[in-house]
Structure 1
Amino acid sequence: MKKFRNLFFYIFIIGGFTALMYWIVLYGTKLEAGRNIVLPVSNNTQWQEFVLSLLHNLKHPLAILLAQIVTIILVSRLFGWVFKKIGQPTVIGEIIAGIALGPSLMGMYFPEFSAALFPAQSLGNLQFLSQIGLILFMFVIGMELDLKVLRNKAHDALVVSHTSIVIPFALGLGLAYYIYQSFAPPNVQFSSFALFIGIAMSITAFPVLARIVQERGIHKTRLGTIVITCAAADDITAWCLLAAVIAIVKAGTFVSALYIILLAGVYVFIMLKVVRPFLKRVGDLHSSRENLSKSVVAIFFLTLLLSSYASEVIGIHALFGAFMAGVIMPENMKFKNIFIEKVEDVALVLLLPLFFVFTGLRTQIGLLNDPYLWKITALIITVAVVGKFAGSALPAKFVGQSWKDSLMIGALMNTRGLMELVVLNIGYDLGVLTPQVFAMMVIMALVTTFMTGPVLDLINKIFKSKEDAIPKEISSNGKYKILISFGNPERGRSLLRLANSFTKKLNGNAAITALHLSPTNELHSFNLEEYEQESFAPVIDESKHLNQKITTLFKASNDIDEDITEVANKGDYDLLLVGLGQSIYEGSLLGKVLGFTTRIISPDRLINTVTGKEKLFELSPFDERTRVILSNSHVPVGILIDKNFEKTDRVFIPVFHASDVYLIKYAQKLIHNAGSQITIIDAAGEVKNNTEIKEAIRAIEQNAPNHITIASDKTIEKEFLQTQDLMLISFDSWKKLIDSRNVWLNSSPTTLIIKS
């Protein structure tokens, strides 16, 4: 009755008010009497009017801006993926994506499409949004700087850092003297031109450097500590220098610039001595996600915007203000993590690629149409590399570093990346750099960033480093070695319990390694140790409870799936255990359409489809990460579907194929180490007809009587499933169960799927 009452109410309200609206409109037309209302007259059909309206909407500034953003994000992701695959920072791919969308490639070969997508009048909107992205990015960079490191370990690092600024700065001034007459704008003073060339030679990209250090696993070493500290000190010094250079360029003379620098000093003093203590107090009171209300977030964003506004008005650029606002943020780790999470994704994924493309639209490589210009470009690259590399490596050696570490510091400090582009764009906006010089300097930024990885590899090769990502205790022979890889720390507990069930009584003849990889872009240099401790805390706690010795491996990764399989393959493990993730594409029609579309546009899936490794229309029973691990791993892989897994007292093994014989050795390990009661379900009659399987079972019964039974039931009752702790099943049998949509899967216990 209630159902019909609601239906009648719905019909009455909707129908009644629709009739009322129609009556009002109908009688409202009578009010038009006496008014000179002219209706538009057109000779076009209704379809033609619709098409014209559509074309008009396509040219609307908002539609153009949205089309630009979609194109930029897609192309940036594609180029970033390509460069990630060849072991380069994704920032290089994003910069090249910007150049590809600019006049150097798309504008040259597809001028009409380029003019339609990036009309000249729309570039103002793009620049504005890209500047907002840069302000947020510089805010994050400021927050990522750990001032405690500078205070505690700054002596040697300051020597290296300041020398690595002074030497390339001086060489940059010399370079400016050589190219000033031929390449400087006619109305720009030598001092302004020289100062900008000098500062461009001195920049180090702190965020790119920090990610390279994390990915190579050297952040815990003395080298990693020194180079991060050097880069942090370099960042602060370089931005202060840049602020002074901007002041001098805008003022025209050094004496006039002193007023700007003096005002900037007052601004910095207020930020450090007045604003910072206030923000620290707010941060201490609101350090948890629950306490961080919108009003509190508004205070910090207002600080960012007011700081950027103040520095722009003073004349030292809004980006310096954003950087300064980040530096004075509370040092509370939890607060920093929460706030960076709120800002970083929008800044890095949505807005920052706009800056790369805007830079690419300005970069006219076609202007370098003479061999002499390319010689000057090569000279600029040489001066930049020699100045920064030698300016960092030699002082590092002087303060007591080994030659290997000194050269690695030089190679890392030579990374310029995004920070260089920021400086170049400021110089271009101020009219100090011509389009030709701008293009040359962008190429220099790309080359110096691109060469960092290969140079580090070369240094390691020359000095024959024997260090490996896999500790010596893991690579010992003669042991049964299990690698458990987890993302969620609590998932690590279950995986360790399972691994322990396979090795409990092996004593010193087993080795379990817990591996946790985190995406590079989610880690920050200031909280690496804390993050590592939090990630392994549940696993270490469980290992103590089980009295099971484990080795932990933590690494920042640019490609988690690939790195998991690389560690497993290089370590020659006997078993890799991972948890099953849940696909975001399942559960709805739209999700399945998106999942299929993703398979089409995913470069990895497309390559595998073309090479015949997989089918385009094949539905995988696993999430993308598990699928990649299964595809690339050379060792047996176990996939755990965790349903509150606690123990392995009762385990059943459904056998559907003769090839499932390899599961018997895992049953044997469970019986020997955990005393498990094993039930083999011979639903297809494979055990009865397979001599090899029967012999393996007989051998187990002789060593451990009454621990293994065979059931030939073709149907599995729900009551039986409820008594079991674990289902052990082969990869092929699992696929068969999924394809047949077996109803008892819903009631199955924790499941371990093993692919031999």
Structure 2
Amino acid sequence: MTKHRGIASIVFYIILLILFVGATWLTLTYGASLSPSQATSTAPSTLPEAFTVFSESVQHHMSSTIGLLLMQILVILIAARGMGWLFRKIHQPAVIGEIVAGILLGPSLLGKVSPELFNYIFPSSSISNIQLLSNFGLILFMFAVGMELRLSDIKERLRSSLIISHAGIFLPFALSFPLSLYIYPKYAAEYTSFLPFALFVGIAMSITAFPVLARIIQENNLLRKPLGKLSLSTAAASDITAWLMLAAIIAISQSGSMLSTVYNLAFLILYVLIMFGVIRPLFRIAGKVYDNTEVIGHTLVGVIFILLLLSSYVTELLSMHALFGAFILGLVMPEDLSFRKIITDKVEDVSLLLFLPLFFVSSGLQTELGLIDSPEMWVMLAVFTAIAVVGKVLGTYVSARACGEKPRESLYLGAFMNTRGLMELVVLAIGYEMGILPPSIYVVLVLMTVITTVMTMPMVHLINKVYEWRKHRGKKPHVKHPDQYSALLSFGRPQSGATLLRLTDQLLRRGDKHPHVTALHITTNKSINTIDADKYFHDNFLPLSQEAEKLNQMVALDYQVADSVEEAIIDKLKQERFNLLIVGAGIRLSDDANDRAAISMRDKLSHRIGSLSVATTERLLSIRNLVRDKMQYFIDHAPCSVAILLGRDYSMPKRILLCVESEADMRLLAYARTLAENNQAYLDLHSSNKQTSWGNLHQSERIVSSDLCVTDALMEGYDLLVVSHEEWMRSYDNAPETLACLPSTLIMSLKNGYSLDK
């Protein structure tokens, strides 16, 4: 029956194809007779003529609006990503590299080196398209920034945050007034009146870039430390204050005087009251209900985008700029982490990766470094930068000390608050667009922005060096809990953390005496925002925390953001003294179906195109760190003993096999016995060396014949294999048939002075 249906379907398809070809031929033949007799054929008759027609078609589409815009976006994105990558390599925020890319693509470099190419890529008639897209991207970005600023964080440290942030705003703002009085007559009088000019210079000197600062805090692993929390809450309070001030300044600037802006400010207050008194409570209810991607559908996201555009439109009508409305709507979003992460995931990647580079380039096209063409202009740049740095750092330091912070933490706060970054560029773009900032002053302030942001990390490193120099030389690393066995367990997937903690408890607990355990999870994506970081922290440590509660085991939680997982782990081991590092075996030895499939595909592709090409592709796709085998790196570089778990649904082993080869491996016996004791398990002992002396055996222990081969029935019935790293490399690592029959396996490399029985 099935065969007849198959033949019938083929016959039907052939008939359908014949009818289609016949109808097409008849239509074209008849249609040709209807063509006007006087029409001349322009169809090419030779291949060269056809190629000429093809070339003209390509050039036409390249110069079309959409073709030109797509080419510009490609050039901008490649330049922005490349410079961002380069600046991250020199330990600078990627956003500074993207700002520099915008300047380099503008008249300052590309326009000077190759004017023809510059005019071809960025003709003056197309700049308005880039600016329009970048402004829409800024609306999305400011919405995401508002969501990153959680009011609950500010409330926890309200007094200190407000005092420190306002001091960091008011002092540079006040210091800018004499400078504005001096430069206004010569540089700005023909563009605008003094009041809006002075106010815009003041706000430009005093703003802090929260998004850039948040990522600097993450990269320095201060996110969950008191200094990091105070820095973020202070920066959040500073940003909210600065944007409220900016909204008022824009209203004043567009009205021309304080008196004529009364209505604007009155409606500003009314708008803020409605947003926080009505919209925010409604969204708080929604945040409790819509907390996962299954229930947050297109309807809710559509409502949020409509509100975003409406809020932006209202503030634009009230002479406070559309960006302010986007920022306020982000602030009133519910503070539930799951809700905010879902919404930011939908908004932030598009705004950061696509639209913001367009903004940087549109800013760069307006930044003509050639305008700084005299010693006076260079002196002005130095004075602007000095006032911005001194005002921000000094104001923050003095106010932090007044709030009870220590000198070192106060200096760090001053350095952090000096970060201006993208938020400063947004302010400058608004001032330039409104005709308040003249081109020369705009260029000076853009360069001041780059300088003050770039100097943040060197200032932090300088503070570190100064305080390290003041410490006593030769001081040994700090040892936490010297009377306890100390272990660092590092994990990737959430459930792996719980498994490794269970293993740590069984491996190191002696009766009621628990080891000191630190759990480390590392995110390799340095561009994540604070919402993502908090969500990752909660989700990744939740299974481990629940397991710790069951085991009655105290665990110190450490979450870091780093470029290299291996280097971050080794740095942690060197900063604090641990007896043992416990990690998972990685995906190369994983029994997870997806991991096994990925490794199998990788091996096949490596045979086909070469391992070097595969490794290069993996780097481009940012998966190299995930698939690379890290076992040997830890063995070679860790200053302490290392335990690597090859988990096969590891739980509570009841039959344990210890395999040794040399006398040095006998130190594993203490660990294996502790495992057996804590699990009430049987322990079997196997040595490939017939001369091995096991000493006095415990009641639950027995010796397995050394004649048995590891690939035979030796592994049958065991829940856990304990083996030294040397024995693993000799007998198991390159034996696929052996790997397939292994139970859960604990591979250990013991360093001198770090054994369990010491």
TM-score category of the 2 structures, normalised to the smaller one: 0.7 to 0.9
User: How much has 1:94 moved relative to structure 2?
Assistant: 2.7
Match of 2:192 in 1: 188
Q: Does 1:565 align with 2:559?
A: no
Q: Does 1:524 align with 2:530?
A: yes
**8 Å contact from structure 1 (residues 730, 755) kept in 2:** yes
Match of 1:671 among 666, 670, 673: 673
Match of 1:332 in 2: 336
Q: Does 1:600 align with 2:616?
A: yes
Match of 1:554 in 2: 559
Match of 2:93 among 66, 89, 95: 89
User: How much has 1:549 moved relative to structure 2?
Assistant: 4.5
**8 Å contact from structure 2 (residues 656, 676) kept in 1:** no
Q: Does 1:288 align with 2:292?
A: yes
User: How much has 1:455 moved relative to structure 2?
Assistant: 2.2
Secondary structure of 2:242's match? helix
Match of 1:612 in 2: none
User: How much has 1:388 moved relative to structure 2?
Assistant: 1.4
CA distance in 1, matches of 2:503, 2:12: 60
User: How much has 1:408 moved relative to structure 2?
Assistant: 2.7
User: How much has 1:539 moved relative to structure 2?
Assistant: 1.9
Match of 2:756 in 1: none
**8 Å contact from structure 2 (residues 283, 333) kept in 1:** yes
CA distance in 1, matches of 2:219, 2:378: 34
1:535-591 Cα offsets, whole Å, 9 max, x none, are 433223323434545433234546544322211233344442333244997565898
Match of 2:490 in 1: 485
Match of 1:142 in 2: 146
Secondary structure of 1:188's match? coil
**8 Å contact from structure 2 (residues 686, 703) kept in 1:** no
Match of 1:610 in 2: none
Letter of the 1:25 counterpart: T
Secondary structure of 1:409's match? helix
Match of 1:358 among 353, 356, 362: 362
220-229 or 153-162: which moved more? 220-229
CA distance in 1, matches of 2:212, 2:300: 30
User: How much has 1:257 moved relative to structure 2?
Assistant: 3.2
Secondary structure of 1:88's match? coil
Tell me how many residue pairs correspond in the alignment: 725
Secondary structure of 1:289's match? coil
User: How much has 1:489 moved relative to structure 2?
Assistant: 2.3
123-132 or 411-420: which moved more? 123-132
**8 Å contact from structure 2 (residues 715, 743) kept in 1:** no
User: How much has 1:721 moved relative to structure 2?
Assistant: 5.2
CA distance in 2, matches of 1:400, 1:524: 26
CA distance in 2, matches of 1:116, 1:572: 60
Letter of the 1:497 counterpart: R
Residues 315/715 of structure 1: CA separation in 2 closer, same or farther (3 Å cut) = same
Q: Does 1:446 align with 2:450?
A: yes
Secondary structure of 1:647's match? coil
Map residues 178-577 of structure 1 onto 2, 5 A cutoff: 178-184=182-188, 186-463=190-467, 475=480, 480-505=485-510, 510-518=515-523, 519=525, 521-524=527-530, 528=534, 532=537, 534-557=539-562, 560-577=565-582
183-192 or 624-633: which moved more? 624-633
User: How much has 1:443 moved relative to structure 2?
Assistant: 1.6
CA distance in 1, matches of 2:73, 2:330: 26
Letter of the 2:312 counterpart: S
Secondary structure of 1:291's match? coil
Residues 271/543 of structure 1: CA separation in 2 closer, same or farther (3 Å cut) = closer
**8 Å contact from structure 1 (residues 145, 232) kept in 2:** yes
Cα RMSD, aligned residues only: 4.1
Match of 2:743 among 720, 724, 749: 749
Secondary structure of 2:487's match? strand
Q: Does 1:623 align with 2:630?
A: no
User: How much has 1:391 moved relative to structure 2?
Assistant: 2.2
User: How much has 1:203 moved relative to structure 2?
Assistant: 0.5
User: How much has 1:107 moved relative to structure 2?
Assistant: 4.0
Secondary structure of 2:693's match? helix
User: How much has 1:413 moved relative to structure 2?
Assistant: 1.7
Residues 714/462 of structure 1: CA separation in 2 closer, same or farther (3 Å cut) = closer
Residues 248/622 of structure 1: CA separation in 2 closer, same or farther (3 Å cut) = closer
Letter of the 2:43 counterpart: V
Match of 2:22 in 1: 23
Map residues 43-62 of structure 1 onto 2, 5 A cutoff: 44-62=48-66
Map residues 721-732 of structure 1 onto 2, 5 A cutoff: 723-726=718-721, 728=723, 730=725
CA distance in 1, matches of 2:354, 2:605: 23
Match of 2:35 in 1: 35
Residues 463/738 of structure 1: CA separation in 2 closer, same or farther (3 Å cut) = closer
User: How much has 1:133 moved relative to structure 2?
Assistant: 2.3
CA distance in 2, matches of 1:671, 1:380: 69
1:636-661 Cα offsets, whole Å, 9 max, x none, are 55444433111344456789xx8x98
User: How much has 1:534 moved relative to structure 2?
Assistant: 4.9
User: How much has 1:175 moved relative to structure 2?
Assistant: 1.5
CA distance in 1, matches of 2:526, 2:695: 47
1:568-623 Cα offsets, whole Å, 9 max, x none, are 233344442333244997565898679965743788999xxxxxxxxxxxx99971
Segments of 5+ residues of structure 1 without an aligned counterpart are: 607-618, 689-693
**8 Å contact from structure 2 (residues 143, 330) kept in 1:** yes
Residues 275/379 of structure 1: CA separation in 2 closer, same or farther (3 Å cut) = same
CA distance in 1, matches of 2:551, 2:164: 48
User: How much has 1:291 moved relative to structure 2?
Assistant: 1.9
**8 Å contact from structure 1 (residues 495, 577) kept in 2:** yes
CA distance in 2, matches of 1:434, 1:598: 52
**8 Å contact from structure 2 (residues 312, 323) kept in 1:** yes
**8 Å contact from structure 1 (residues 506, 673) kept in 2:** no
Residues 755/274 of structure 1: CA separation in 2 closer, same or farther (3 Å cut) = same
**8 Å contact from structure 1 (residues 501, 648) kept in 2:** no
User: How much has 1:713 moved relative to structure 2?
Assistant: 5.7
744-753 or 96-105: which moved more? 744-753
**8 Å contact from structure 1 (residues 731, 753) kept in 2:** no
CA distance in 1, matches of 2:78, 2:726: 35
CA distance in 2, matches of 1:327, 1:514: 33
Letter of the 1:455 counterpart: M
Residues 355/185 of structure 1: CA separation in 2 closer, same or farther (3 Å cut) = farther
Letter of the 2:35 counterpart: R
CA distance in 2, matches of 1:38, 1:729: 86
**8 Å contact from structure 2 (residues 87, 94) kept in 1:** yes
723-732 or 85-94: which moved more? 723-732
Letter of the 1:259 counterpart: Y
350-359 or 165-174: which moved more? 350-359
726-735 or 191-200: which moved more? 726-735
**8 Å contact from structure 1 (residues 260, 314) kept in 2:** yes
1:156-212 Cα offsets, whole Å, 9 max, x none, are 432332232222112222222222233327232222222211110110112222333
CA distance in 1, matches of 2:83, 2:511: 49
**8 Å contact from structure 1 (residues 727, 749) kept in 2:** no
Secondary structure of 1:237's match? helix
